[in-house]
Amino acid sequence: MARFSAASPAGRVAADFAQSRLAVFGLALLAALLLAALFAPVLSPQNPYDLAQLDILDSRLPPGAHATDGKLTYWLGTDDQGRDMLSAILYGLRISLSVGVSATLCALALGLTLGLVAAFCGGWIESLIMRIADIQLSFPAILIALILLAVLGQGIEKIIIALVAVQWAYYARTVRSTALVERSKEYIEAATCLALPAARIVFRHLAPNCLPPLIVVATVQVAAAITLEATLSFLGLGLPITEPSLGLLISNGFTYLLSGKYWISFFPGVALLLMIVSINLVGDQLRDVLNPRLQR
């Protein structure tokens, strides 16, 4: 039956993805946020990390207010240190996204390797890796992250390490079960029949066919990583105060919520919300599109 004009697997995925308007909207929103984060230095009126630019007299101004020296308009208000919320949010998006994405990529790489090794080697190696993954997954993520950060200290690399440590197990488990299924398929047998070297079979034949479920897990896990990082920052264990991420901004404004100065928490919260929602919309549609049972 005639189906898609796009030939390659990627093309088919894209065509299927575009079926859902909600998902396309989510993708557009995500793209907008990504661009905003990327061009944060260009777009933001002020550099919120430069303490010299902050004016403490401008603190806690409502949205739309002007700076005391009249040069800036604080579109989203200022926080308790006189930082322009819009700039802080843009830079905060940048940090959240970069931390989330890099942590996810590292966790994916680690989980993919360990999962493939487990599936291919079997035996005690597989049991060892899987049991470690199971034990880790039985602890709450936040607990592991807190313990690691308490040991490692603060800083952006340490947060990424903590996030990777928390997340690799999801990928390893997914990859292992997919790899086990794929491994028994006849095209792997055919590759063995053709006397192709084992490394080639694993990386050129097995791994690419294990990717679809991984991509879905990764998309959702980016959101989870960002949320976890925001939580850690909210608790004060995340990034330093001079480079606030969205979580820290929310935390800073927490005490002012009930006294009418809602904007200090509200707008970073909305930004975080939009980012998570758009990632989840994209991830949901990807999951449906890449589901092998719905294909063919």
Partner 1 sequence: MTGAPAPPLIELREVSKRFVRRLDVAAKVAQALGAQAPAQAAQAVDGVSLAIAPGEVVGLVGESGCGKSTLGRLAAGLLAPDAGRRYWRGAAVDALASAEQRRVRLAIQMIFQDSYASLNPRLRVQDIVGEAPVVHGLIEPGGQRDYVARTLERVGLDPSLMRRFPHQFSGGQRARIGIARALAVRPEFLVCDEAVAALDVSIQAQVLNLFIRLRAELGLTYLFISHDLGVVQHLSDRVLIMYLGRIVEAAPTAALYASPNHPYTQGLLAEVPRLEIRRTHFAAIRGELPSPFAPPPGCHFHPRCPHAMPRCEIERPLLREIAPGRFSACHLNDPPPDATPAARPGAGLA
Partner 2 sequence: MTQPTLKVEHLRTHFFARQGVVKAVDGVSFEVRSGQTLGIVGESGAGKSITGFSIMGLVDPPGRIIDGRILLHGRDLRTRSPAEWQAIRGNRIAMIFQDPMMTLNPVLRIDTQMIEAVRAHDRVSVRSARDRARAALARVGLPSPDERLRAYPHQFSGGMRQRVAIAIALLHQPDLIIADEPTTALDVTIQGQILAEMQQLCRESGTALIWITHDLAVIAGLANEVCVMYAGRIVERGTVDQVFDAPLHPYTRGLLDSVPSRNQRGAPLRQIPGMAPSIARLPVGCAFRERCARATETCFTEPPLYELEGRHVRCFHPIHAEDEAAAAT
Footprint on this chain of partner 1 (rule: CB under 8 A): 7-9, 185-187, 189-197, 200, 205, 208-209, 296
Minimum CB distance to partner 2, residue 281 (Å):
21
**190 binds, options partner 2, partner 1, none, Cβ within 5 to 8 A by partner type:** partner 1
Q: Specify the residue, 2 or 52, whose C-beta has the smaller distance to partner 2.
A: 2
Minimum CB distance to partner 2, residue 1 (Å):
5
**194 binds, options partner 2, partner 1, none, Cβ within 5 to 8 A by partner type:** partner 1
Alpha carbon distance 247, 236 (integer Å) = 9
**186 binds, options partner 2, partner 1, none, Cβ within 5 to 8 A by partner type:** partner 1
**193 binds, options partner 1, partner 2, none, Cβ within 5 to 8 A by partner type:** partner 1
Contact call for residues 278 and 27 (beta carbons, < 8 A): yes
Q: Which of 107, 90, 105, 147 is nearest to 272 (CA)?
A: 90
Applying CB under 8 A, which residues contact partner 2? 1-3
Q: Specify the residue, 122 or 236, whose C-beta has the smaller distance to partner 1.
A: 122
Alpha carbon distance 225, 104 (integer Å) = 7
Minimum CB distance to partner 2, residue 121 (Å):
30
Token pair, residue 141, equals 């993520």
Alpha carbon distance 95, 69 (integer Å) = 29
Q: Specify the residue, 55 or 288, whose C-beta has the smaller distance to partner 2.
A: 288
Minimum CB distance to partner 2, residue 18 (Å):
11
Minimum CB distance to partner 2, residue 6 (Å):
13
Q: Specify the residue, 50 or 134, whose C-beta has the smaller distance to partner 1.
A: 134
CA dihedral 245, 247, 248, 253 (to 10 degrees): 130
Contact call for residues 239 and 233 (beta carbons, < 8 A): yes
**205 binds, options partner 1, partner 2, none, Cβ within 5 to 8 A by partner type:** partner 1
Minimum CB distance to partner 2, residue 296 (Å):
13
